[in-house]
Amino acid sequence: MTRSSHNGGRQQCLTVCALFEAELLLALMLEKWRHPYADVESFRHEILEAATELLQVASEESCSEVFMEGLSAQDMNFVSAIWYVEWNSIQGTTADRRQREIWLRTIRQTLPSCFCQPNELAP
């Protein structure tokens, strides 16, 4: 095995690990805080895909869009991206809206450090 093929394999492994960890965290968040669609695989897939796309856009240096008040696009993290995607998806809908709003509120209250600028966190 050449060094370059070994590095390519490592990168592929890291990508798969990151995806698995993202799926795991999302599933745990949905289940732990009782999201009404926690058991719906297609919902989990859609929110994961949308959060990933949001983070890709937000991480671009040229991104000046503000997705969440008090948090720059470049400082968004996976939890805040999931929150934003779900918050955005319930706008204009009534399907399980109350339960979904409770889930959103619970996430923000439970994980406040995911919704502020990193320099605001105590060392």
Q: Strands (DSSP E) along the chain, which ranges? A: none
pLDDT in tens, 92-108: 888 899 999 999 999 99
Could you give the 3-state DSSP secondary structure of residue 27? helix
Give the Cα separation of 17 and 31 in Å (integer): 21
Question: Tens of pLDDT along the chain (123 residues)?
Answer: 444 455 666 666 556 677 889 999 999 999 999 999 999 999 999 999 999 999 999 999 898 898 998 899 999 999 999 999 999 999 988 889 999 999 999 999 999 999 998 877 666
Tokens of 91: 């706008």
- Report residue 52 as tokens: 């990933």
Amino acid at 58: A
Cα(71)–Cα(65) distance, integer angstroms: 11
Domain ranges of the chain: 3-120
For residue 117, report the phi and psi dihedrals to the nearest 5 degrees. Answer: -65, 140
